[in-house]
Structure 1
């Protein structure tokens, strides 16, 4: 049998296999009918692992046990180690027996895992997962046994306030926490207990902390001490609060206080992988919830780049000092760099994307393309490299069960490693290894590139000039001279702005790290700001934003790390005060500046809908507050993007309004869904007819700018709610209410979600005055009531409003029925003289109340874009008049709700001439474009009377001609 297997092995490895085969030969002689496949597998394992050979020789019972039980060729389920070890320890009576039993258990299972890994009966992920389960079981079952003994001796630890028995919580850190333990890893643990108090049930009481420290020491001894039977796991407790200088076990309150007051950046990285792996699972889950804000920040945390770079540099120095280039974990392109890449995105965006709040690297890497825009190829290459490197790490450690990641230097050992990895030669293995490591290096460098000294030298002198304004106590005259030389249009005012921030209490109270981050970004922003036309005005806007983010200095890192983002910021603040105000109020939106491609290439409605749905799916349905914050961030981010596109000319006016309207529509759809779920969970579904639930038989109508697909920045939403159910029926839930009450509350819930001010602001201001009977009418009308009102009671101006009404959210079947009602109302025959009189009268009333004459003066006459003669409302009323007068004959007039396409229809039907239609279209677009610019500069809709005179006069002439 041996000879047959030697024939399939490189001759240089024959001595290893012969030696190890001899150690197990006596055991093999006791086995009957050894399967050929097992003989081949055993040969591969004995070639790759001296440890397995030693265990089979030292404990002859292991091999028959593994073979006869089928464990050698079977995967374990997640609780199998726990059950097996619990059974073994149930008959243990002394600590000495405990130590022996748990060690023998570990050696058997470790041998099985190495056998399965080297034969590839188990892949890397399954091996690391089972190793972690093995560690969980050894810690859990050993601690349970020791806890019972400790309670008998010292009493049961009891909470001072809760009066409940206390159990220890064991946090697994690092690879153990992530269920990614390697074949010969130590285990990083933190011991915690829920509540202070004393033990009860013993003559001598102990403080809970004293009890758990004693328990913790015994647990470490039971696992870590090396006896004649070996060890279980090497235990490392240095990740606990205050490290080796801190107490071995602390309470939840002390743990929370430590991370709030003393938690360092590297501890955040460590806590990403923290998991309650043993002890009181329920209490442990509460602890992890308490610690979560320390790890994952709500805002985009760009300090992750800075601290990761520092950590990487520290490791690089260690690699150079200790010569670790041959280390598959710590060396360049090694396992650690893959972990860093995943962790930087977890800390960067994990607070806002729950998909990144996972411990397992193998689960994080695949979601990076969708979550953070990493190229799919990069994600795939990193995953492949990680699996190869982890397999190499296991093959290295399988030889002697030693914790090492060093590539061997002995030729025979090199060939052994290559053979275990499936290669015929060391050269073949190292070529593949280098390819994988090179891919990791490239992707790591792309993400966390070290600062280039040459680039620093080039900009050093210029940066020092800018920093002298901040660091040196310059005379005002000298400072103004510097700013003047650098191109500021009002150097004196610019110095006043800089000095004001420099002398502010906020700046003087900054911690050192925030000071350093501020100094890193100031030269970049000052340099960019000096190059725009309105440099001093822009400087004021930029420094206002800096003032707002000083206490959240991770945003300063974002700007320092992303020169493109800084350039975009200055460019857009220069063009728009609205833009800078938006960022100042919500700095979290700075994240949107990073990628100019997404900033200036807005999505279509389907993409917007998909993006919002994906974001909402990551939030528990019952967490209304978080859902509302998500909606607000989505709206603000896309408002910012469309503003950037309009400012830079990347989008024309019509596309800007489309984008803003689409954004509102997908938000409304989501809000209706959220409100519907809240209401139906509480009251059940309303009934369309007896026994037939609504599905949902509810729509939201958009009027005005929303209906006309003409939203601008900050537009409110003119909405009307319609349902189609029997108001006399009731919902089918436990807490039944009348259908009419249900839909009224549904409408109120929708308005609440839209209107409420949160820390992220308001979604939209909602105006419901266009519903039947206005503010005195029902909040939600049935379609029949709506139809009756429009036919019998509505004023002409309400029919005018209906011209721009359309469904913007809700049930598509009810939409069809609404459109039939709308078409019927708009197609009613109307007497021309009466219609003309009523439209003109309403127009004059609006002009007298809202036009510019109320605020103008003779010296500086002004023009109100919307309400003055020849303005936007004249065009809208013309369109509405033509539609109401002629819709019976020309149904294409009410096919669309936007003014431009209605004008197109009026031209095609020859209700107005082509020249008139073109004049009205161009004027309408021009007025709206100016209105948008006014909004972005936070100015009113009033401009100088000298502007746009020819256009206004042309519109007024068409009005006079048509409305005779």
Structure 2
């Protein structure tokens, strides 16, 4: 061995001297391999553990072999650390790899005798159950120190029984399994121990069962999990991962990381921080480089606070390792680059000091020694001249940690710009009418407030001045107050939302602005306060299709196929929260109309796709799969079913309150039976899929509906079947459909289901629309249908006399433009097939100009009028107003539309505002 390095190692560690005396020959063999100059990979570590225990069947011999291996590896690590041949993080990773390999070996050794006695543990699902070992703390993060204990939790997937002659339940089997695993690693023999095992982080702590099922853990976390447990579970990791283990860990993520910025964690983290500060003062542990002020725990706490608060919305912050997450905090702008560098430098130094302390005698301590000899050993190991120079460096680094820790999540100090409560009240009264003043008075003196818990009242009083200040800054304070009061009443028991708004002043200001613009948004938030989670953390960018699909898929994956109520809740909140995001982007970011409509349509399409998948899956689980019309077995990936969107969803022009006009078609063998235990015909299967789809979409629950769905545009309308085969649909469209049904087909588009069937529909649509037609007949039919709509849905004579214009239904309104686009397709696509390509009005009108059927000026004028009227309809929907507007303000736009209507459809039509 290198004499100088050996001497440094032995000065660094009295424990290393003991190992050398006991295992000289083996250590020389170990040193001969690589002179302790290289790191061991995870695979190499696993091989060393395997080789040390290979072929050993006697328990005492097994325990002795693993403890001797641990001593040899400890000598190697102390050598490498003392001679700076290994980085801090490489060392902590190797220590963690050894722990993982030891746990895996102990788990395997402990299982065999239990199986021999009780048989295999079999869950009610028929699968052999595994003991899931969940590593917590430093082992979970793979950051073990030289003398760490290991924090573990034991779990299993599902209850059941063993299949041996002596039968016990799975839980008892796993408890016995875990007890033996602990004994094999923790029990002190003549050779020492492998790892001290700490099980106190398990649900209910000491005194509770040693192993817990997936379902019981999920229930515990959802009903009893505390903030400090969220903090602890950040680092949770499965040793020897399996699908069941990863599923269990995935289940815990929503408990740890809230979906959005978790303002509720601020208060809990402040309480934990205060507790840490009190503990440091009470225990007088300044010399503890882990628990003392500026120590390792404070660096970890700084990182984990940010993880808890922002980890749900910034997935990169969910990493278990302290330094990895610290770097991510810098990358996402939550910590300045200089702060990240200072904290990283302090953390690595503190971890080196920790290793130097623990190397002395293999003791689990982080306290600086008082004895001169031990101090000298640490000084030499760390490369300092004397103890004073070491302490000066240590104090400088701890001071930087202390500064960041003290300034972390500080209590909100009174805003010097925020006026006194009485001044605010006076200013508010100056701008309110009597009704609004009475509203405020009744709120503060009503029964609802008297029933509130004291803490909720306290939070409400803390929130109130912030609300008033934000309202007074708005351009319509009275409107904002009246619209927000019901929302405040609906959330005052769920005070987490009040905390969110206090913590995020920008969110409160946005909420007030939204209230002045849109009572509809306020009503949605009032009825469904859970949407505030989305609203308070949104970035006001329009959602992207892929993000929508990924989000909904992940939410539904967590729900069993028979949990229909949970599926309905997810579908409804997904739709509502994303429509709210679009509305906020519309109002606050002033997103363009076409992009808003695109986003609303994509939300609907993603919802329809997911709902169809669920409906098909639920039906197939009960009845098996049908055959398609070509005799091929259908499946989830080949479902031979399609949903056709008509109207606004077909035309990619959805508004905020739009329902969905849908038609269902299938490509199944209607006579052949499904292949399940309860077979039904292909026809009945298709019907049940459509019925289940309608139920999932339209059933009224506490969370409302996903969408209102109108299926009356199907063949034969309400008298027709809910779902139609492609062949029957084709025959109907070619032989029996009315002209108005072909008009509707112009705005039809496949939006969900089997791709090949969707393509067949698009081909059929094109064939139907491009049939040669007599223009005068088309003109006559279109005019007849338009007049019916005006008579039934347009403004009355009295309303017209009062200067009212129905933006959608009256002459010169949206429907006139839509009918002209539909006329263009039906009348002209026989000789200009490209006109039948698109289903949205804007591109149809553009193509009519390209085909020379409309002048560019006429097409542009119609498009401009259409977009202006649709933009106003969006604004009215957000304001909860109907489509009736002042006719005088729309004269010019209507005149353009009516003049084109006269030239294109009805030469006898006249337009004069005076006549109305």
Instruction: State the TM-score, normalizing by the size of structure 1.
Output: 0.73
Report the Cα distance in structure 1 between the residues aligned to 2:54 and 2:604, rounded to whole angstroms. Answer: 55
**Offset of residue 844 of structure 1:** 1.3
**Offset of residue 240 of structure 1:** 9.0
**Offset of residue 677 of structure 1:** 3.4
**Offset of residue 651 of structure 1:** 0.9
Range 903-912 or range 835-844, more displaced: 903-912
Partner of 2:59: 88
Partner of 1:571: 513
Report the Cα distance in structure 2 between the residues aligned to 1:611 and 1:336, rounded to whole angstroms. Answer: 34
Aligned CA distance change for structure 1 residues 537 and 177 (closer, same or farther; 3 Å): same
Partner of 2:743: 800
Q: 1:712 aligns with which of 632, 637, 655?
A: 655
Matches within 5 A, 1:916-935: 916-935=858-877
Give a deviation string over 1:97-124, Cα, whole Å, max 9, x none: xxxx98x788546535534644569752
**Offset of residue 562 of structure 1:** 1.3
Aligned CA distance change for structure 1 residues 741 and 115 (closer, same or farther; 3 Å): farther
Aligned CA distance change for structure 1 residues 553 and 641 (closer, same or farther; 3 Å): same
1:894 aligns with 2:855: no
Q: 2:848 aligns with which of 906, 910, 921?
A: 906
Partner of 2:428: 483
Contact (CA 8 Å) 2:293, 2:402: kept in 1 or not? Answer: no
Partner of 1:961: 903
Contact (CA 8 Å) 1:305, 1:344: kept in 2 or not? Answer: no
Aligned CA distance change for structure 1 residues 681 and 458 (closer, same or farther; 3 Å): same
Contact (CA 8 Å) 2:12, 2:360: kept in 1 or not? Answer: no
Q: 2:627 aligns with which of 671, 680, 686?
A: 686
**Offset of residue 293 of structure 1:** 9.8
Contact (CA 8 Å) 2:52, 2:66: kept in 1 or not? Answer: no
**Offset of residue 19 of structure 1:** 7.0
Aligned CA distance change for structure 1 residues 737 and 427 (closer, same or farther; 3 Å): farther
Equivalent residue pairs, number:
860
SS at match of 2:653: coil
Contact (CA 8 Å) 1:365, 1:379: kept in 2 or not? Answer: no
Partner of 2:770: 827
**Offset of residue 318 of structure 1:** 3.6
Q: 2:92 aligns with which of 114, 124, 130?
A: 124
**Offset of residue 760 of structure 1:** 3.4
Report the Cα distance in structure 1 between the residues aligned to 2:459 and 2:57, rounded to whole angstroms. Answer: 54
Aligned CA distance change for structure 1 residues 607 and 233 (closer, same or farther; 3 Å): closer
Give a deviation string over 1:307-350, Cα, whole Å, max 9, x none: 10221133134446635386245543734543564466457777
Partner of 1:404: 365
Report the Cα distance in structure 2 between the residues aligned to 1:720 and 1:427, rounded to whole angstroms. Answer: 82
Give a deviation string over 1:809-854, Cα, whole Å, max 9, x none: 2333333322221122112222233322221111111111112219
Partner of 1:334: 296
Report the Cα distance in structure 2 between the residues aligned to 1:615 and 1:218, rounded to whole angstroms. Answer: 38
**Offset of residue 502 of structure 1:** 1.8
Contact (CA 8 Å) 2:625, 2:674: kept in 1 or not? Answer: yes
Q: 1:37 aligns with which of 32, 36, 59?
A: 32
Report the Cα distance in structure 1 between the residues aligned to 2:51 and 2:447, rounded to whole angstroms. Answer: 61
Partner of 1:666: 606
1:653 aligns with 2:582: no
Give a deviation string over 1:891-950, Cα, whole Å, max 9, x none: 232221111121222233343344433332222112211111111111112223443133
Q: 1:311 aligns with which of 258, 262, 272?
A: 272
SS at match of 1:687: coil
Report the Cα distance in structure 2 between the residues aligned to 1:429 and 1:907, rounded to whole angstroms. Answer: 82
Matches within 5 A, 1:286-365: 301-319=262-280, 322=284, 324=286, 327-328=289-290, 331-332=293-294, 334-339=296-301, 341-342=303-304, 345-346=307-308, 365=325
Contact (CA 8 Å) 1:699, 1:814: kept in 2 or not? Answer: yes
Matches within 5 A, 1:218-237: none
**Offset of residue 437 of structure 1:** 8.2
Contact (CA 8 Å) 1:131, 1:183: kept in 2 or not? Answer: no
Partner of 1:197: none
Range 15-24 or range 781-790, more displaced: 15-24
Report the Cα distance in structure 1 between the residues aligned to 2:324 and 2:612, rounded to whole angstroms. Answer: 32
1:499 aligns with 2:441: yes
Q: 2:753 aligns with which of 798, 810, 813?
A: 810
Contact (CA 8 Å) 1:355, 1:364: kept in 2 or not? Answer: no
Report the Cα distance in structure 2 between the residues aligned to 1:492 and 1:88, rounded to whole angstroms. Answer: 85
SS at match of 1:700: strand
Report the Cα distance in structure 2 between the residues aligned to 1:256 and 1:690, rounded to whole angstroms. Answer: 44
Aligned CA distance change for structure 1 residues 894 and 295 (closer, same or farther; 3 Å): closer
Partner of 1:114: 74
Report the Cα distance in structure 2 between the residues aligned to 1:591 and 1:128, rounded to whole angstroms. Answer: 38
Aligned CA distance change for structure 1 residues 892 and 311 (closer, same or farther; 3 Å): same
1:5 aligns with 2:41: no
Partner of 1:458: 416
SS at match of 2:751: strand
**Offset of residue 386 of structure 1:** 7.1
Aligned CA distance change for structure 1 residues 707 and 560 (closer, same or farther; 3 Å): same
Contact (CA 8 Å) 1:865, 1:871: kept in 2 or not? Answer: yes
Aligned CA distance change for structure 1 residues 81 and 685 (closer, same or farther; 3 Å): farther
**Offset of residue 187 of structure 1:** 6.7
Q: 2:571 aligns with which of 631, 642, 655?
A: 631
Contact (CA 8 Å) 2:93, 2:144: kept in 1 or not? Answer: no
Contact (CA 8 Å) 2:543, 2:582: kept in 1 or not? Answer: no
Report the Cα distance in structure 2 between the residues aligned to 1:78 and 1:671, rounded to whole angstroms. Answer: 51
Contact (CA 8 Å) 1:769, 1:775: kept in 2 or not? Answer: yes
Contact (CA 8 Å) 1:241, 1:255: kept in 2 or not? Answer: yes
Range 512-521 or range 918-927, more displaced: 512-521
Q: 2:881 aligns with which of 927, 939, 943?
A: 939
SS at match of 2:361: coil
Report the Cα distance in structure 2 between the residues aligned to 1:871 and 1:445, rounded to whole angstroms. Answer: 63
Report the Cα distance in structure 2 between the residues aligned to 1:190 and 1:32, rounded to whole angstroms. Answer: 34
Contact (CA 8 Å) 1:708, 1:899: kept in 2 or not? Answer: yes
Report the Cα distance in structure 1 between the residues aligned to 2:220 and 2:677, rounded to whole angstroms. Answer: 47
Contact (CA 8 Å) 1:354, 1:618: kept in 2 or not? Answer: no
1:640 aligns with 2:585: no
**Offset of residue 749 of structure 1:** 2.6
Partner of 2:119: none
Range 414-423 or range 878-887, more displaced: 414-423
**Offset of residue 559 of structure 1:** 1.1
Contact (CA 8 Å) 1:657, 1:712: kept in 2 or not? Answer: yes
Report the Cα distance in structure 2 between the residues aligned to 1:343 and 1:512, rounded to whole angstroms. Answer: 27
Report the Cα distance in structure 2 between the residues aligned to 1:679 and 1:80, rounded to whole angstroms. Answer: 53
Report the Cα distance in structure 1 between the residues aligned to 2:707 and 2:903, rounded to whole angstroms. Answer: 39
Q: Tell me the C-alpha RMSD between the 2 structures.
A: 5.7
Aligned CA distance change for structure 1 residues 76 and 523 (closer, same or farther; 3 Å): farther
Report the Cα distance in structure 2 between the residues aligned to 1:519 and 1:297, rounded to whole angstroms. Answer: 26
Range 428-437 or range 519-528, more displaced: 428-437
Give a deviation string over 1:646-689, Cα, whole Å, max 9, x none: 22352121221111112222232333333333344441353342
SS at match of 2:410: coil
Contact (CA 8 Å) 1:304, 1:348: kept in 2 or not? Answer: no
SS at match of 1:728: coil
Partner of 2:725: 782
Contact (CA 8 Å) 1:684, 1:735: kept in 2 or not? Answer: no
1:751 aligns with 2:721: no
**Offset of residue 443 of structure 1:** 8.7
Report the Cα distance in structure 1 between the residues aligned to 2:822 and 2:650, rounded to whole angstroms. Answer: 13
SS at match of 1:699: strand
Report the Cα distance in structure 1 between the residues aligned to 2:329 and 2:558, rounded to whole angstroms. Answer: 17
Aligned CA distance change for structure 1 residues 319 and 5 (closer, same or farther; 3 Å): same
Aligned CA distance change for structure 1 residues 757 and 176 (closer, same or farther; 3 Å): farther
Aligned CA distance change for structure 1 residues 785 and 502 (closer, same or farther; 3 Å): same
Aligned CA distance change for structure 1 residues 451 and 218 (closer, same or farther; 3 Å): same
Report the Cα distance in structure 1 between the residues aligned to 2:899 and 2:266, rounded to whole angstroms. Answer: 62
**Offset of residue 742 of structure 1:** 2.4
